[in-house]
């Protein structure tokens, strides 16, 4: 997860330590020459010894790795900006160091024994095989340690569950593969009308970069080639969206999380929030970003939700309360105007060029994740539109309109998501692209109600 302050530098910590000679120095300090000599004399096995050295090199290089990442924090859990995320981080650190201490304790005894209690050193085996006292101690002591760990964890958990008295309530709806944010209530005003989708904005040519034209496996990616060129990846690759969700700092924000199709999970590590979005049920969680921590926070879907699970990031923009008030008023006004424009444009008659241009743009943004840019889909889950009975035959028009409006099988209903103008443009594009030359134009008024 990236920090709140946007940064273009991508941390590269690992490679230097494997490429340089650092690990060799560490290996020799870990196993001193005297010890090595001794080990060699009593094992007499070159293979065993070289194995030990190999492993020591490996583990000491991971120690170097860990110390570098512990200081840079780029490969540790983010501390985050909220009280909850910082408590989670503190619990994580406490557990981590307890586990390291337990591990060092147990493994030191074991490796001491491995070095000293070996037959080649002439050590004679003792024959003891039980000790009630010792066994009671090593049952009781871990139990007490666990109680000590459970107390702070319980406190944090109770606090996490308290979503009462929130200033702002936002409904978050996951669907394959986008997030929808609906602002429901702000400062006891429940007449807010603001609702929008948030989708990945990294261009597809940055991640669809098949190694060879045909692809290794004759599926999916192979069909993208020829139409697309790969592009260099930008620094927020796969962590950027078209419209972030905006929240005010210094206010408690309640999120009501649900889903339209499969289970997703809304995860923003800097807030310490991961909450599953479950179709048909509403989960609650909350956050409060402190004043002074305004910035961009990035997250992603954490629960496998189908093909593009890796491509539905979350971006939260935390702004000051006054800036938020202004943004909320502006956004509501803009949405109201857009709805009015859409209503007015229902009667507009568009030319084929207008429809095709708008249609291609909107198709690539809204439809191509499933039906693919070339219209060939990924059958059988995502059917092809190119040459299909519905999209390429004139008599399929009514069915085509109804499927887009109401959805079918896994396809969601678009009638409340897209304006009539956009739906008309997409349907026209689908009926005239990729050799589907029906030459039928669909106008906004044709899609305001189900076709007969």
Stretch that binds other proteins, among 149-157, 318-326, 400-408, 423-431 (CB under 8 A): 149-157
Using CB under 8 A, which residues numbered 168 to 207 contact other proteins?
206-207
Q: Cis peptide leading into 177, omega within 30 of 0?
A: yes
Least distance (Å) between residue 8 CB and other proteins: 10
**Cα dist. 182→76, 408, 417 in Å?**
33, 24, 12
Least distance (Å) between residue 211 CB and other proteins: 4
Least distance (Å) between residue 123 CB and other proteins: 5
Our finding on whether 253 is near other proteins (CB under 8 A) is no
Backbone angles phi, psi at 203, to 5 degrees: -65, 145
Least distance (Å) between residue 145 CB and other proteins: 9
Least distance (Å) between residue 416 CB and other proteins: 17
Our finding on whether 40 is near other proteins (CB under 8 A) is no
Residue 334: name the closest of 227, 234, 190, 194 by CA.
Answer: 194
Our finding on whether 247 is near other proteins (CB under 8 A) is no
Our finding on whether 261 is near other proteins (CB under 8 A) is yes
Identify whether the C-beta of residue 241 lies closer than 8 Å to the C-beta of residue 200. Answer: yes
Our finding on whether 296 is near other proteins (CB under 8 A) is no
Least distance (Å) between residue 415 CB and other proteins: 18
Residue 179: name the closest of 256, 61, 282, 266 by CA.
Answer: 266
From candidates 171, 228, 233, 293, binder to other proteins by CB under 8 A = 233
Nearer to other proteins, 2 or 366 (CB): 2
Residue 378: name the closest of 173, 223, 194 by CA.
Answer: 223
DSSP 8-class letter at 8: -
DSSP 3-state of 253: strand
C-alpha–C-alpha distance, residues 126 and 146, integer Å: 33
Our finding on whether 164 is near other proteins (CB under 8 A) is no
Identify whether the C-beta of residue 369 lies closer than 8 Å to the C-beta of residue 307. Answer: yes
Stretch that binds other proteins, among 166-174, 237-245, 331-339, 441-449 (CB under 8 A): 237-245
Our finding on whether 281 is near other proteins (CB under 8 A) is yes
From candidates 42, 59, 327, 434, binder to other proteins by CB under 8 A = 59
Identify whether the C-beta of residue 370 lies closer than 8 Å to the C-beta of residue 380. Answer: no
The DSSP-derived string for 406-417 is H-BTTBPP-TTT
Q: Mask 409-438, x = binds other proteins (CB under 8 A)?
A: -x----------------------------
Using CB under 8 A, which residues numbered 312 to 371 contact other proteins?
none
Least distance (Å) between residue 247 CB and other proteins: 18
Our finding on whether 71 is near other proteins (CB under 8 A) is no
From candidates 32, 40, 67, 75, binder to other proteins by CB under 8 A = 75
Q: Kindly tell me the sign of the dihedral angle through the C-alpha atoms of 335, 337, 341, 344.
A: positive
Least distance (Å) between residue 175 CB and other proteins: 12
34 contact partners, CB below 8 Å, separation of at least 6: none
Strands 194-198, 264-268: pairing kind = unpaired
Residue 183: name the closest of 245, 244, 242, 243 by CA.
Answer: 245
From candidates 33, 44, 226, 380, binder to other proteins by CB under 8 A = 380
Least distance (Å) between residue 194 CB and other proteins: 25
Nearer to other proteins, 264 or 431 (CB): 264
C-alpha–C-alpha distance, residues 288 and 294, integer Å: 11
Residue 443: name the closest of 386, 401, 414, 388 by CA.
Answer: 401
**Cα dist. 1→80, 185, 198, 269, 299 in Å?**
9, 29, 18, 7, 7
Our finding on whether 134 is near other proteins (CB under 8 A) is yes
Nearer to other proteins, 262 or 319 (CB): 262
CA 374 to chain CA mean position, Å: 27
Our finding on whether 119 is near other proteins (CB under 8 A) is yes
Our finding on whether 88 is near other proteins (CB under 8 A) is yes
Our finding on whether 376 is near other proteins (CB under 8 A) is no
From candidates 41, 135, 343, 352, binder to other proteins by CB under 8 A = 135
Our finding on whether 274 is near other proteins (CB under 8 A) is yes
């Amino acid at each position: 997860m990236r920090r709140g302050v946007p940064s273009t530098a991508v941390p590269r910590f690992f490679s230097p330590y494997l490429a340089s000679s650092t690990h060799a120095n560490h290996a020799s300090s870990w196993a001193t020459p005297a010890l090595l000599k001794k080990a060699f004399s009593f094992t007499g096995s070159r293979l065993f010894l070289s194995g030990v050295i190999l492993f020591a090199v490996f583990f000491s290089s991971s120690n170097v790795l860990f110390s570098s990442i512990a200081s840079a924090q780029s490969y540790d859990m983010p501390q985050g900006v909220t009280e909850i995320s910082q408590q989670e981080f503190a619990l994580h650190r406490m557990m981590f160091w307890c586990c390291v201490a337990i591990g060092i304790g147990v493994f030191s005894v074991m490796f001491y024994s491995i070095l000293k209690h070996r037959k080649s050193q002439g050590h004679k085996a003792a024959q003891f095989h039980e000790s009630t006292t010792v066994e009671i101690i090593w049952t009781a002591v871990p139990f007490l340690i666990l109680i000590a760990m459970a107390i702070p964890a319980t406190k944090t958990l109770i606090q996490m569950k308290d979503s009462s008295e929130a200033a702002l309530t936002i409904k978050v709806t996951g669907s394959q593969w986008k997030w929808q944010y609906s602002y429901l209530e702000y400062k006891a005003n429940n007449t807010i009308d603001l609702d929008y989708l948030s989708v990945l904005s990294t261009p597809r040519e940055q991640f669809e970069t098949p190694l060879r034209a045909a692809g290794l496996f004759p599926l999916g990616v192979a069909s993208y080639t020829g139409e697309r060129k790969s592009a260099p990846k930008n620094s927020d690759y796969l962590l950027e969206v078209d419209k972030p969700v905006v929240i005010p700092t210094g206010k408690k924000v309640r999120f009501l999380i649900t889903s339209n199709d499969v289970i997703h999970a809304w995860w923003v590590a800097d807030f310490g929030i991961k909450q599953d979005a479950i179709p048909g049920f509403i989960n609650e969680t909350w956050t409060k970003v402190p004043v002074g921590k305004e910035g961009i926070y990035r997250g992603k879907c954490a629960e496998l939700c189908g093909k593009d699970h890796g491509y539905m990031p979350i971006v939260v923009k935390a702004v000051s309360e006054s800036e938020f008030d202004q943004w909320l008023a502006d956004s509501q006004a803009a949405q109201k105007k857009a709805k009015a424009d859409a209503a007015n444009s229902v009667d507009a008659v568009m030319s084929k060029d207008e429809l095709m241009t708008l249609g291609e743009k909107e198709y690539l943004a809204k439809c191509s994740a499933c039906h693919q840019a070339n219209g060939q889909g990924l059958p059988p889950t995502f059917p092809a539109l190119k040459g299909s009975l519905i999209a390429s035959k004139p008599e399929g028009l009514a069915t085509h309109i109804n499927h887009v409006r109401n959805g079918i099988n896994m396809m969601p209903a678009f009638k409340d998501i897209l304006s009539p103008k956009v739906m008309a443009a997409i349907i026209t594009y689908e009926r005239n692209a990729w050799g589907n030359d029906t030459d039928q134009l669909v106008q906004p008024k044709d899609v305001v109600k189900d076709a007969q």
